[in-house]
Amino acid sequence: MSPASFGGDFGSMRVAIAELLEQAADVARAVQAELDDAHRLTKVDASPVTVADVSVQAIVCHGLSKLAPDIPVLAEEDADVLADRDGAFARTVFDQVRRACPDLDPAAIVAAVARSNDGESPVRWVLDPIDGTKGFLRGGHYAIALGLVADGHPVFGALACPAMGRDGNGLILVAAHGTGAFEREAGGTSWHPVQVSAAADVADLRLVESVERAHSAHGASAQVRDRLGAVAEPVRMDSQCKYATVARGDAEAYLRLPTRPGYVEKAWDHAAGALIVTEAGGRVTDIHGAGLDFSGPTLARNRGVIATHGRLHDDVVEAVQAVLDSKT
């Protein structure tokens, strides 16, 4: 899929996807305001899944089936969580989805959640319905992240960041390959170009990193900052809102440094944000300076992620390498 699928008009594509993500974000906000034990489960890998994760996946996948029915979707959640259709969790999901899609019955909602493939198709959507679930649970930042991957490269990306924007009312960011990155306030109609920071001195670098220590090595990040001579304390937030922060010029670098051997990044955790940073004028690589390879469901050929405003990217990669090499 490309702007050509929308009559060659990227603006139409941007609006259609933004409206879909805003619908989903409205439901996520409602769930966040009502959270209780009936709204969450624990998956077999011990990670949390909420009614919002599953409801948003259903809404977005259903919308994509209308906008681009021939393109498969790789999404994070499994329809198995709805196996007990009479259980409290499933019934709550059905109720929430119908806020945005009142005509969908339980069978259609389950089918929408299950509209996911193995991630090997050369052209596919990748969706993280609630990126930053722990942030969502604590009332912090989270994102609805949708990317379109073609032949291993993101070609379209969209982020709904419900806690960003003016007074935390929500922000939508979108980008398509070669067209730039744009944002609008949730509920708005005016799009504005997004540009990375113009900072040119390493001492002025502002870093953003994950709240969760399991997602990024905070100690190594601090050493990188010291090695660069950066003065500002890092900003910590959940989700691909970190990519949005770099793209908008509110930070110069996002570090996601390896925390344990063998960990492999998931495609849906990076596709949308990486393209938005790149189209805003920045640069995104792994910790070795290699481009991210989205040809599979994971970034198996990469290790860690570094996203910057571009001007000092090589300096950051060099500092990261020096710090990580000192630990081996």
- The continuous run of DSSP H or E covering 271 comes out as helix 271-279
DSSP assignment of 23-79 equals: HHHHHHHHHHHH--GGGEEE-TTS-EEEHHHHHHHHHHHHHHHHH-TTS-EEES--G
What are the two backbone dihedrals, phi and then psi, of residue 201, each rounded to the nearest 5 degrees?
-115, 130
Q: Give the residues across from 161 on adjacent strands.
A: 171
**308 catalytic, yes or no?**
no
Cβ neighbors of 258 (< 8 A, separation 6 or more) are: 217, 287, 303, 304, 324
Q: How far apart are CA 226 and CA 103, in angstroms?
A: 56
Q: Do 277 and 294 touch, CB atoms closer than 8 A?
A: no
Q: How far apart are CA 295 and CA 151, in angstroms?
A: 6
- The continuous run of DSSP H or E covering 279 comes out as helix 271-279
Q: How far apart are CA 62 and CA 56, in angstroms?
A: 10
Q: How far apart are CA 319 and CA 321, in angstroms?
A: 5
> Three-state SS for 196?
coil
**Active-site residue identified among 92, 128, 131, 133:** 133
**Active-site residue identified among 26, 50, 53, 285:** 53
**298 catalytic, yes or no?**
no
**Residues forming the active site:** 53, 133
